[in-house]
Amino acid sequence: MGTPTKLFLFLIWCCFLSAVNADFNITLDDSDPLIVYDPPTSWTQSSSNDLDFDGHHMLTDDPSATATLTFTGTAIYYLSPLWPYRLNTLITLDDQPPVLVSLRDHNQPVVENGPETTASQVVWSATGLDNVEHTLVISVGNGEDVAVVDGLLYVIRYFLPFVFIFCCP
Ligand SMILES: *[C@@H]1O[C@H](CO)[C@@H](O)[C@H](O)[C@H]1NC(C)=O
């Protein structure tokens, strides 16, 4: 046996091969073309505000309007600033029951229709999902005023079948 072959056999004997999952976060601004606004004319971009993720958010008051993201991954996070009055957005993931998410800033006195008071942050999430295609729909809740889209973060998972996790010295 030549030296390279011996070295190769030694490495195979001495190293543990493993399969691992690697997660990566993908963050989308409301202006990302992956987010489909329907009908587009029902949605308007807010004026610029530093408390928004990437400076703006999208807004609708049309009870039949939707914003849809289709993604393949294991988690999804909805980011939004908070306002000093009652304001909710409806979020529906796949065929799960819709969730009405509050965007009210409870640390502020109520100022009806006042400007946002807290910077964009995760206000709703779904984790531990199967690593398959999912559909997230954002819309106006029944009897609510508006729906807001500011930032969406999803986690993609790569399966790496052969990774050296440990080699003896
Ligand atoms: C992905 O984002 C979530 C939510 O912000 C965070 O909890 C997590 O640590 C992030 N993961 C990575 C790999 O950056």
- Residue 112, token pair as written in the block: 């009806």
Distance CA 16, CA 55 (A): 47
Residue 14: pLDDT band (50, 70, 90) is low
What is residue 2's predicted lDDT score, i.e. its pLDDT? 73
The domain that contains 97 carries what CATH number? 2.60.120.260
Question: Domain span at residue 56?
Answer: 3-167
Contact 35, 103 (CB under 8 A): no
Q: What is the pLDDT of residues 37-91, one digit of tens each?
A: 999 999 999 999 999 999 999 999 999 999 999 999 999 999 999 999 999 999 9
Does residue 8 have a pLDDT over 90?
no
Residue nearest (by alpha carbon) to ligand 1 atom 5 = 122
Q: In 3-state terms, what secondary structure has residue 33?
A: coil
| Cβ-based neighbours of 64, under 8 Å, separated by 6 or more | 42
Distance CA 139, CA 149 (A): 9
98 vs 162: which has the higher pLDDT: 98
Q: What is the pLDDT of residues 132-142, one digit of tens each?
A: 999 999 999 99
Does residue 9 have a pLDDT over 90?
no
Chain centre to alpha carbon of residue 37: 16
Pairing verdict, β 99-102 and 88-93: antiparallel
Residue nearest (by alpha carbon) to ligand 1 atom 9 = 25
Residue nearest (by alpha carbon) to ligand 1 atom 14 = 25
Pocket test for ligand 1, best of 20, 21, 24, 25 (most atoms within 8 A of CB): 25
Q: How many angstroms does the Cα of residue 155 sit away from the middle of ligand 1?
A: 8
Number of domains in the chain: 1
Residue nearest (by alpha carbon) to ligand 1 atom 3 = 25
Residue 164: pLDDT band (50, 70, 90) is low
Q: What is the pLDDT of residues 15-41, one digit of tens each?
A: 666 778 899 999 999 999 999 999 999
Ligand 1 neighbour 23 (Cβ under 6 A): yes
Does residue 169 have a pLDDT over 90?
no
Q: How many angstroms does the Cα of residue 25 sit away from the middle of ligand 1?
A: 6
pTM for the predicted model, two decimal places: 0.86
78-81-86 Cα angle (round to 5): 100
User: What are φ and ψ of residue 57, in 5° steps?
Assistant: -135, 170
The ligand 1 atom at the shortest distance from the C-alpha of residue 125 is: 4
